[in-house]
Structure formats: C-alpha cells, structure tokens
Chains A and B, each alone.
Chain A
Amino acid sequence: MPKPRLLNREEESLPLERELLVRMHDLMVKARVLEERLIQMYKQGHGYFWIGGPGEEAFNVPLGLLMKKGQGPAYDYLHAHYRQSATMMALGEEPIGAMRQMKNVVTDPYSGGRNFAGHFSKREWNIAPVSSPIEVQYAMAPGTALMQKRHGGDGITIVTGGDAGTAEGDFASCLVWSSRKGNELPVLIIVTNNKWGISTSAEGQHGETNVADRGKAFNMRTKTIDGNDPINAYLELQEAMEYVRKERKPFLMEAVVSRLYGHSSASGANMVGNEQDCLTTFEQRLEKHGILTRKEMDDLRNRYSEDMAAMARQVIQEPMPGPETIWNHIYAERK
C-alpha cells in the first residue's frame, strides 16, 4: 500500500507553505462544490447525464497547479479523462463552463452542447479533448510527447485514466511507445485507481498487486501513491514531473483515490459514504495545524455554493444550440 511521505505520525508541521495549502484547499472546495452542483443540475433535470470526479480533488488539484500551462509543445499537454474538473479549476478555468456543458447550452465552451459533462477541451491550454472511451488518450499521448521531445523544451505530456481502463490495449500501447530504448518519451502516465470499473470492483477487474508495477517491465520509473492526501500528491507529482521534464523519460504513477458519487448518474450519483473523503481529512489537518478555522472553511464552501447556484440559474436560461448547427465543424476550414 502507498505510504505517506515526509509526514511522521505526529505530523508536527505540514511540509508545504501555508499559502499553497490554502490555495489547494480553496480549489478542492471549488471543484467539489462544482461537482455537487452538476449532480444537482442533473437531478433537477438540467442535463441528461452526469459523470465527474468528486473524490479525486486531492490528486487533481496539485496536478493542475503543477502543470506548465500554455499552447504548443513548449507547454504541458493533458490527455485527461472525465473525472478531472478539479484539474481544470486548478489551471484557472471558470466553473460556469462545466455547468454549461452539463446543461448542453450553446455557450458550452468545450463542445457547444454536444458532449457530456466533464468532457473538457481547451486547445489554448493544451487540454486535449476528453472523450468517453476510457482508453484512447493513452494511445495519443506518445504523439504529443514526441513533438515535445523534438521541440527541445521542458514541456511534458500528462495522460490520465482509471484503473479499470488499464485493461484496454491502449494502456499497453502507451507503455510500449513511450519506453523504446533511445526513443523514450516525456510522458507522465497516470492511473487514478478508484478501485472500481463501473459496478465491478477492482478485484474482479485486474489482478496485479499495483497497476504501477506494470511499468517496471518497461524499465520505467513507477510509483503507487496515496492520492487522497493533497500534500503527498503535490510532493509526489512535483518529483515525478521534474523527472519527466529533465530526463525526457516516462514515469508511471498510480494514485489511489476515492469515488464518492459512484460511476456516473447511471448509478444514481449518490454519496457512497464508505470511502475516504479527501476534503474532510484535509480540512481536519488544516484545522489542527491552525491553517484555517472551521468557520473559514464553512464560509468558503457557502460562498462557492452561492456563487455556483447563481451561475446555474444563469446557465439554465441560456439558449440551446439550434438544430442547424449539427453541420458546423465537421471539418476545420483554413482561416
């Protein structure tokens, strides 16, 4: 099992600056409130389907904070999956876009009302389009990484997927293509292990002790980490990203996370209650160490809740895409 690093049992002090801890907490709350708002919108009939990442904030927020944000091979590419709203929030994205996608209104900045919630796309920041297949991003990641290796800068490719998705051949493709001798690629290959594949537990899905161990056969640096601890996740990601940036070689990281509202709205989107909530445990530590008071944290949550409720009220008034728009963007046209 993953071991928390740098933290002793007594945890005399937290190993990150106060400002960063407060920032991470803020973003985790923001992302959680967003996901809960999206679920509520679904349940109120303001959207056909919800899928997202409540329970993965402790990992996804540090990931977004550590990314080198920008467009083109000098910057990091993210081939995300559909549980990464927290990464988008950490990169500085406004939550209203996710609500617009949930409501499939014409203003949806990621797909113009065409795709499910959580299916982000933002070329301006190298956010590759999220698609519903759980594996295709692993096949594409070596392509962006190859361009980055040639570019000569320190941009890296980050690809994420779930543990169940590693059963697909594209995960093996990613391991093979990013680790060929002399052609190693700067890819941070991430598996968020929530111990579920839709309704089937990990035990029924795959038998390896740690998913990360699969990288060892490819002479890849690997690590299984506790993704429910944002401080640990930040430090581990920082180290792994630094390795990939400098060495221009792949790193396979498995982050053990929780799935707090089930697979998607198809399984009800109800709080499960029996999994660790990374936000609750982080808040306990922040309070214990005097970083934030309970009241400050409650106020923050209430503020976000109110803001996002107002955003949702706005979004549901926005127009739907017109039927004639189905013909738009089948092909790109030269500008």
Chain B
Amino acid sequence: MANMAQAVRMALHYAEEHLGVTDIFGEDVGPPLGGVFTATQGLKTAWNTPLDERGIIGMAIGLAMAGGKPVAEIQFADYIFNTIDLLKVAGNTCWATNGDWNLPMVVKTPVGSGIRGSIYHSHSFDAMATHIPGWKIVIPSNPLDAYGLMISACQEINPVMYLEPKALLRIKGEERIPGEPDNDKLLSKMIDAPLGDRSQWKPQWPELEAYAVPIGKGKVVRAGSQVTVVSYGRTLPLCKKAADDLAAEGVDAEVIDMRTLWPYDWELIKGSVEKTGRVLYVNEDTEVTNFGEHLVRRTVEELFYKLMAPPRLLAGKFIPGIGLADALEMASVPQQGDITAAIRTLAGEQP
C-alpha cells in the first residue's frame, strides 16, 4: 500500500492531469528534491520558490486571481505563521468583495510532532487555521483519505488548507488507492525518485481514479456504544488503537475521524455523543483556545442533557514549543498511553 506522501503525490498528479492544477510550488517542492517529505516528486507542474513564505502565499493568491489553480506548500507549518495576514486576506477576499472574487487555491503544510523536530518542526496549526474564516480545512489520518481529500481540495473553488500530519507521511495505508498497483515495491519503482542523479528520471504514474473524500464529512473508524472519541491527524490512529485495546477490558469506544476541521461534520459527532453520552476530543495542538475547546463548548451547549459525563479534551501542553529530547516531546503532546488512559477514565465516569 502507498504511504501518505505517495498518496498525496498521486493525488497531485491526478489533479494536474485532470483537475486543472497549474502550479505545485514551494521551497524544495520541485526537482531535484520533490519536497522534503517526497510528496511532490515527479510532478510536471512542481517548481521551487525563493525561501519566502509570504511570497509563496501571495503567489498563490495572484495565480488564483488570474485563472490558475495553485497548490502552494509551506515546508513546515511552523513557518506559516508569518503569512497569517495573507491567509486572512485569502479567507476574506470573497466575503470582502461581496462575492466578486473567489480564490481556488490549496495550501498544504506538514503539521505536528512525531519526527523529533524540536521547536520549529513540530508545531500544529489546526487551532490557528480554524481561527481564519473563509478557508476549508482538512487533515487526513491515512493515505486513502489523504488522496481523496487532496482530490476534493483541488476541485474546490475556495481556499483549502491541507494539513499533513508529518508523523504519518511515511506510514503505509490499509486500504488501496483506486488505481494503485498491488505491489508496494512496484509502486515505489514507478513513482519514487531514485537516489543520486535524478535529472533523467521520469515517474511512471499508475492509472489513477478520481476518488474524492468530500470536504465536511467525517468517518466512524470504529463503532462503539459507551464512549465517543473524536480526533484527527496524528492522534487518530492512536485513538483507534486505544479503542481496540480497551475492548479487552470491556470498554466499547466509538472513534470518529473528523477529516475536515471546517466545515466539520457536527451531525456525525452529535449522533455518536447522543448514543454514548460520553465524548473525548483528542488533538495535539496546544490546549488553550484549542479547536477541541470549541467542540467541547458546542457539546455542552447542544448535548448537555444527553451527557453522562463532562466532555473532555486531551491536547498538547500549553508550552512555547516541543523540546527535542525524547522525554520532552513525549511529555508535550498526547501519546498512546495518555489516550488509552483518558478513554478508560471517561468510560468509567459515573454521574
């Protein structure tokens, strides 16, 4: 099965062939590197930019204004912060002009911890991104969704923020992408750039299909009846594993992958919480004014009388960065043990 980086690459190939994507660009996005996570290797419209994040976002806005369909990359979300007001402009352009202009543009950026990236290669962007209206925000947790969400992002006529959990970019999927060959080694031979001189290399793309994961639709990845766990990105597979492990203890947890943070699938969450009466929101961004806090607030306001226990949030510690040393990173953002313990506690909580 393809890993997430390969899935993104294949989706972008499909998008530049069939969905009108004109430019895939950013720092080290074009040849020879094809992206620091290899997600843009071999793409015909990929090109390298100056090391200027504001220039990258400004370029995307300008291309979108003039009929282009750009996919811009900020190499790590930690470096997107100096573009915030351009992201605001992109998000408000349609509204501020009363519908005169729209900007079909995608910004992709790797987020979160998991590669021992220290202070400037570990940060999340979901809390910040969900503070910028006018964008659609997606975050996959597996290669098939990564493919399908990128297809949807490239079909959008509004700005889409595509957050890539960097800890999952090298992880292979469990479900095949439509058109992906059966053999992993064959896939690698076809689409992974060789080491060394790549100047003559050209990828052999599989016959891919327009598999789209609709923006705004979450997914129940494990059905359960006693407690709802809502997550996305890096922590989603941890939540799934925790739920599977806890089944042996008699805890029956339902796990929801949000996949889209805005506009998000409240009906899916609501239906689940009404059934279980317990909900744990899990993400790794810093916990103060965290997106999960919004979900907790909405849960309290709309589902209060359905609840058996207070809605909980497990998120990253509110500290200025994620330290390099293993113990520091592990203590800063939710890990497997933290998630399993939080679900177990919530499942046992009685009024």
Contacts and interface: CB of A to CB of B under 8 A. Distances in A.
Interface in B26-61: 49-50, 52, 54-55, 57-61
B101 interface: yes
Contacts of A294: none
A8 B337 CA distance: 84
B95 A330 contact: yes
Contacts of A122: 100
A143 interface: yes
B98 interface: yes
Contacts of A128: 65, 101
B57 A139 contact: yes
B66 A147 contact: yes
A131 interface: yes
B100 A133 contact: no
A131 B85 CA distance: 11
A197 interface: no
B206 interface: no
Contacts of A138: 58
A148 B158 CA distance: 22
A234 interface: no
B157 interface: yes
Given A148-B66, A329-B95, A136 B59 contact: no
Contacts of A148: 66
B63 A176 contact: no
A169 B53 CA distance: 11
Contacts of B303: none
B200 interface: no
Interface size class of A (residues with CB under 8 A): 35 or more
Contacts of B97: 110-111, 121, 123, 129, 329
Contact of A330 (B22, B50, B85, B134): B134
B134 A331 contact: yes
B62 A121 contact: no
A334 interface: yes
B153 interface: no
Contacts, number: 136
B100 to A, nearest CB: 5
Contacts of A332: 94, 99, 102, 157-158
A140 interface: yes
B93 interface: yes
B203 interface: no
B195 interface: no
B94 A143 contact: no
A281 B296 CA distance: 66
Contact of B58 (A123, A143, A334): A143
B310 interface: no
Contacts of B133: 330
A334 B100 CA distance: 13
B98 A147 contact: no
Contacts of A115: 96
Closest 7 CB pairs of A and B: A143-B62, A139-B58, A332-B102, A112-B98, A147-B66, A329-B99, A173-B55
Interface of A: 72-73, 77, 108, 110-112, 114-115, 119, 121-123, 128-129, 131, 133, 136, 138-148, 157, 169-170, 173, 176-177, 180, 328-334
8 contacts: A112-B98, A128-B101, A139-B58, A142-B58, A144-B62, A144-B63, A146-B59, A170-B55
